[in-house]
């Protein structure tokens, strides 16, 4: 089923008003119109944009009944570090405060929204692997589709610029020619040696926990069917955030179980996810593995480090922070985790992006203490993580939004794919066991991509 014809005439009138306002204020002015449409699946918009070669994105949490997709770039906001990301958040507030909009009363979001992500470590030296994904990038799409419950809405966005100012929406980085970059992951023995070195560092008291990531390469002579992979992921992992960001000829996609932060009004949700076991082949075996995970001293310690750190971070920017006394088990198709949900009340004037900066990187993907763990990651990991394990998600016109931790993910460029996984290393970690855990975490993307790679 195709989308109904968009109200181009009305948007043209709004854009004329926006141009006049931009001329008088000397600042860019957004024109944005939203209306309900018949299109049911936002992934169709993403697929069509991908086929045209447009920059685009997709986001869905099937269990929660929410899906978003966008195509084109009306406005792009970029940043290199945390201070610039905070200014990015304020810049977005300025843009929406002067916008010319025609909202739909039933629309579940407060007007237009940005979608994008941040790197895991903004201080890390980038390589060609993540070309086009340098730094933090958030895009206001020209066309966006949102599905929530039984409704689907189309939003068209255009930005009017003051005279003499270039159209920033058309100045996004163009794809560059050249061969696909290699992930340079090293072999399994190299990674196990790095784990052993980090264990010794932790036993000497350098850090409590360090997350080491690894990458594996996958090649397809005919390229990868990203849309089919996304369909597979959302069917197989309905309790995960399934996402894709396509730009500069590459796609970063995944199915992550880990919410970093969600903000609705002042209500804040965050997740602590650390400690992993495999799934059993029978119900009895599965229950036994879950019970062993709950009783594991090593996994309990790894999880406690994450909970403690996130509670401290939320205390800095929120009120009434609450957490259950004991972790639960979160069961996914391939693994099960220790899981503790957190909730809080945000202090006034916070945005979802502001909260994400307070929390990221959590010990679930970095370690603790934060700076010591990052130093050890930079020394021993020898991997350009780029956006892997960084925040990815959306933020609306009112600052509400949701960002997930971009794990269980892959970067696809042409015939090459780099798949990423990380493990939390503590004093009792065993390199062989951690390597086996990383293989389980690589499985979702490996199966989704390989199933279509031939």
pLDDT tens for each residue of 144-160: 999 998 899 999 999 99
Per-residue confidence (pLDDT) for residue 165, from 0 to 100: 64
- Domain boundary assignment for the chain: 8-170, 188-241+248-450
Compute the radius of gyration of the chain from its Cα atoms: 22
Per-residue confidence (pLDDT) for residue 450, from 0 to 100: 86
Name the β-bridge partners of 56. Answer: 71, 246
> pLDDT tens, 101-127?
887 778 888 889 999 999 999 988 878
Per-residue confidence (pLDDT) for residue 11, from 0 to 100: 83
- Mean pLDDT over 226-237 rounds to 96
Q: Is residue 97 over pLDDT 70? A: yes
Query: Percent of the chain scored above 70 by pLDDT?
Result: 92
Asked whether the whole model's pTM tops 0.85, one would answer: yes
Per-residue confidence (pLDDT) for residue 454, from 0 to 100: 42
Residue by residue, DSSP assigns 274-293 as: EEEEEPPSSHHHHHHHHHHH
Q: Is residue 367 over pLDDT 90? A: yes
Per-residue confidence (pLDDT) for residue 1, from 0 to 100: 35
Q: Is residue 5 over pLDDT 60? A: no
Cα separation, 293 vs 289, whole angstroms = 6
pLDDT band at 340 (very low <50, low <70, confident <90, very high): very high
| Active-site choice (209, 302, 402, 416) | 209
Minimum mean pLDDT range among 119-133, 243-257, 346-360, 393-407: 119-133
Q: Is residue 170 over pLDDT 60? A: no
The answer to whether the Cα torsion of 62, 452, 224, 447 is positive or negative is positive
Cα separation, 236 vs 404, whole angstroms = 18
Q: Is residue 388 over pLDDT 50? A: yes
Per-residue confidence (pLDDT) for residue 185, from 0 to 100: 44
The answer to whether 298 is a known catalytic residue is no
Instruction: Work out whether strand 29-36 and strand 100-102 pair parallel, antiparallel, or are unpaired.
Output: parallel
| Active-site choice (60, 142, 201, 258) | 258
Asked whether the beta carbons of 50 and 226 are under 8 A apart, the reply is yes
The answer to whether 258 is a known catalytic residue is yes
Q: Is residue 238 over pLDDT 90? A: yes
* 3-state secondary structure at position 62: helix
Per-residue confidence (pLDDT) for residue 164, from 0 to 100: 62
Q: Is 282 exposed, middle or buried (0-12, 13-18, 19+ CB in 10 A)?
A: exposed
Cα separation, 365 vs 312, whole angstroms = 17
Q: Is residue 338 over pLDDT 90? A: yes
- Mean pLDDT over 273-283 rounds to 93
Tokens 């039933």 appear where?
106
Minimum mean pLDDT range among 74-83, 335-344, 384-393: 74-83
- Mean pLDDT over 137-147 rounds to 96
Per-residue confidence (pLDDT) for residue 174, from 0 to 100: 29
- Mean pLDDT over 75-89 rounds to 87
Per-residue confidence (pLDDT) for residue 448, from 0 to 100: 95
What count of other Cβ atoms lies within 10 Å of the Cβ of residue 6? 15
Name the β-bridge partners of 151. Answer: 148
CATH tag, 188-241+248-450: 3.60.120.10
Per-residue confidence (pLDDT) for residue 100, from 0 to 100: 92
pLDDT band at 84 (very low <50, low <70, confident <90, very high): confident
Q: Tell me how far CA of residue 190 lies from CA of 28, 108, 185, 219, 382, in angstroms.
A: 51, 48, 9, 21, 10
Q: What is the mean pLDDT of the chain?
A: 89
* Per-state percent for the chain, helix, strand, coil, to nearest 5: 35, 30, 35
Q: Is residue 435 over pLDDT 60? A: yes
Q: Is residue 166 over pLDDT 90? A: no
> pLDDT tens, 171-220?
333 223 322 333 344 468 899 999 999 999 999 999 999 999 999 999 99
- Mean pLDDT over 68-95 rounds to 90
pLDDT band at 9 (very low <50, low <70, confident <90, very high): low
Cα separation, 63 vs 241, whole angstroms = 9
Tokens 């920017």 appear where?
317
Instruction: Work out whether strand 29-36 and strand 209-219 pair parallel, antiparallel, or are unpaired.
Output: unpaired
């Amino acid at each position: 089923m195709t989308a109904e014809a968009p109200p181009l005439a009305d948007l043209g009138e709004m854009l004329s008003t926006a141009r006049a306002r931009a001329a008088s204020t000397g600042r860019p002015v957004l024109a944005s119109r939203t209306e309900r449409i018949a299109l049911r699946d936002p992934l169709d918009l993403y697929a069509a944009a991908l086929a045209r070669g447009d920059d685009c994105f997709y986001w869905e949490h099937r269990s929660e009944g929410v899906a978003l997709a966008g195509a084109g770039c009306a406005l792009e906001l970029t940043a290199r570090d945390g201070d610039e990301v905070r200014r990015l958040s304020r810049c977005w507030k300025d843009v929406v405060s002067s916008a010319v909009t025609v909202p739909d009363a039933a629309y579940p979001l407060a007007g237009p929204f940005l979608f994008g992500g941040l790197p895991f470590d903004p201080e890390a030296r980038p390589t060609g692997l993540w070309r086009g994904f340098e730094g933090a990038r958030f895009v206001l799409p020209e066309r966006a589709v949102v599905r929530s419950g039984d409704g689907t809405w189309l939003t068209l966005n255009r930005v009017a610029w003051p005279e003499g100012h270039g159209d920033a929406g058309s100045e996004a980085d163009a794809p560059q020619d050249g061969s696909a970059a290699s992930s340079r992951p090293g072999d399994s023995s190299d990674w196990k040696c790095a784990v052993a070195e980090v264990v010794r560092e932790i036993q000497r008291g350098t850090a409590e926990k360090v997350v080491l990531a690894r990458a594996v390469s996958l090649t397809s002579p005919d390229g990868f069917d990203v849309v089919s992979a996304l369909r597979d992921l959302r069917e197989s992992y309905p309790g995960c955030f399934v996402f894709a960001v396509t730009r500069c000829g590459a796609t970063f996609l995944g199915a992550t179980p880990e919410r970093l932060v969600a903000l609705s009004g002042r209500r804040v949700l965050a997740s602590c996810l650390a400690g992993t076991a495999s799934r059993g082949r029978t119900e009895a075996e599965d229950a036994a593995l879950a019970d062993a995970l709950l009783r594991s001293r090593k996994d309990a310690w790894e999880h406690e480090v994450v909970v403690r750190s996130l509670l401290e971070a939320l205390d800095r920017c929120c009120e009434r922070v609450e957490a259950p006394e004991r972790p639960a088990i979160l069961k996914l198709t391939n693994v099960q985790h220790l899981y503790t949900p957190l909730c809080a009340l945000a202090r006034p004037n916070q945005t979802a992006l502001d909260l994400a900066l307070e929390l990221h990187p959590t010990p679930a993907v970095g370690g603790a203490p934060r700076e010591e763990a990052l130093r050890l990651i930079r020394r021993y990991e020898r991997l350009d993580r780029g956006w892997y394990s960084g925040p990815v998600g959306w933020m609306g016109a009112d600052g509400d939004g949701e960002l997930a931790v971009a794990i269980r993910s892959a970067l696809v460029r042409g015939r090459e794919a780099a798949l990423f996984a990380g493990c939390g290393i503590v004093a009792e970690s065993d390199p062989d066991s951690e390597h086996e855990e990383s293989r389980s975490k690589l499985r979702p993307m490996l199966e989704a991509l390989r199933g279509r790679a031939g």
